[in-house]
Amino acid sequence: MPATSSLIYSPFSTAVFEDPYPVYRRLRDEAPVYRDPEQRWWVLSRFDDVATALRDWETYSSKCGPAPENPDEDGRKYSVISMDPPRHDQIRGVLKGFFTPRAVAALENALQAVVTHHLDRLRPGTTVDAMEAFAFSIPTDVIGDLLGVPAADREQLRVWWEQFLTRHEGEVAMPRSAIEANRKISAYIGDLIESRRTRPGDDLISIVLQATFNDPDTGGDRSLTPHEVLMFCNLLSAAGSETTQKLISNGLVALHDHPDQWQRIVGDPSLIPAAVNEALRYDTPSHWVARTLTRPVELHGVSMAAGDWVLLLLGSANRDERRYEEPDRFVIDRPRGTDVYFGWGIHICLGQWLARREAQLVFEYIARNFPNYAIGARERVLTATVRGYTSVEMSLGSGA
């Protein structure tokens, strides 16, 4: 993009979606508080501004939801990601111990079994679509096992979520296909919930159904309402797979494009956890989240009004040269501090440790069995907030 061209950013632009980083750099340098040309929202792109906003829930509220094209009402559509404290803390606390590093470690054998089941099907010397071969199915099966989704239904549920997230070029409104997909998801998850009411198990849906918490509004302990259960389980079914699919494929593409870093992993697999963190920073799966202002805010000489929407560009913050040295390079052992690729503050991703471990196991397997893999053609489909691939051609080398 020529330096003299006008600066225009839209999260619903295919051109931006394909390669947002040049536009992000210009936003950070020229308009750190950018106003959408149609006055629909503000955009923050620098690391410090995004990190501050993520922590300051009292000013940057989540009650209207994470996306202006489909506003929420205090969790009616998106569950805990559309709530502020204290309600957010009460609902999220239902599963507060289930996704900790210790809890994920207890799932190690189950995660290993899922990863091995799919990757053992790969054969040296062949070319596959990495998405269809394993990047879609591994996260889908992991969350499917945790929720108790029948194996035969998981691919359909994944397709519905992809349809729900897909957007049309230049259109802010959700397409009819996304609305219909959301209806089908809610109907399906609702049926699962009803079956668990009569036949509970040890899955997450049963845990959510049986959980109680102290609600000051009622003056005592209560269970989640049927709608709260439905929205929470809907959220888990999507969040448990969508971003992890993108993390795995984005990471493998990035490592292929940085062969010196990949060879370090092949020689020393202990670097893989750090490489997963760098993959999250370098090509972040979730590129933005939205908040609404509860009070006027002045930033970089620009005044934003109470009630205004603000987009927080996680993908830009993670490439901010004010925060990271040479941010456009993939560097495994980059110094770490606060990072916002999983969000930050009270809304930091509940399943972050599970997503990390799934990606680590995939990278370990590929490094051990296909250290000379190559990436060919790849495709994306414009989606809301998450950015990744729908197909990735991957040639599997035969040994070291």
> What pLDDT, on a 0 to 100 scale, did the predictor assign at position 218?
76
Residue 208 has pLDDT above 80, yes or no: yes
Can you tell me whether residue 303 is helix, strand or coil? strand
Residue 134: what residue type?
F
Which has more confidence, 168 or 400? Answer: 168
Residue 400 has pLDDT above 70, yes or no: no
Residue 1 has pLDDT above 60, yes or no: no
**What is the mean pLDDT of the segment spanning 2-14?**
80
> What pLDDT, on a 0 to 100 scale, did the predictor assign at position 47?
97
Residue 366 has pLDDT above 50, yes or no: yes
> Contact, 139 vs 351, CB < 8 A?
no
At residue 259, what are phi and psi to the nearest 5 degrees?
Answer: -60, -30
> What pLDDT, on a 0 to 100 scale, did the predictor assign at position 308?
97
Of residues 93, 116, 134, 395, the one with CA closest to residue 241? 134
**Tens-place pLDDT, residues 29-84:** 999 999 999 999 999 999 999 999 999 999 999 999 998 988 888 888 889 999 99
> What pLDDT, on a 0 to 100 scale, did the predictor assign at position 3?
46
> Contact, 186 vs 180, CB < 8 A?
no
**Tens-place pLDDT, residues 372-389:** 999 999 999 999 889 999
The C-alpha atoms of residue 43 and residue 41 are separated, in whole angstroms, by 7
**Tens-place pLDDT, residues 252-296:** 999 999 999 999 999 999 999 999 999 999 999 999 999 999 999
The C-alpha atoms of residue 307 and residue 59 are separated, in whole angstroms, by 10
Question: 238 pLDDT band (50/70/90 cuts)?
Answer: confident
∠ Cα 128 133 138 (to 5°): 155
> What pLDDT, on a 0 to 100 scale, did the predictor assign at position 398?
64
**Tens-place pLDDT, residues 123-164:** 999 999 999 999 999 999 999 999 999 999 999 999 999 999
**Tens-place pLDDT, residues 101-131:** 998 999 999 999 999 999 999 999 999 999 9
**Tens-place pLDDT, residues 313-329:** 999 999 999 999 999 99
Q: What is the mean pLDDT of the chain?
A: 93
CA dist 83 → 42, 107, 209 (Å): 21, 29, 19
Q: What percent of the chain has pLDDT over 90?
A: 80
CATH 1.10.630.10 fits 14-31+40-395, yes or no: yes
Q: Hey, where are the domains in the chain?
A: 14-31+40-395
> What pLDDT, on a 0 to 100 scale, did the predictor assign at position 52?
97
pTM over 0.75: yes
User: Per the structure block, which two tokens stand in for 76?
Assistant: 């009616």
Q: What percent of the chain has pLDDT over 70?
A: 98
Question: 399 pLDDT band (50/70/90 cuts)?
Answer: low
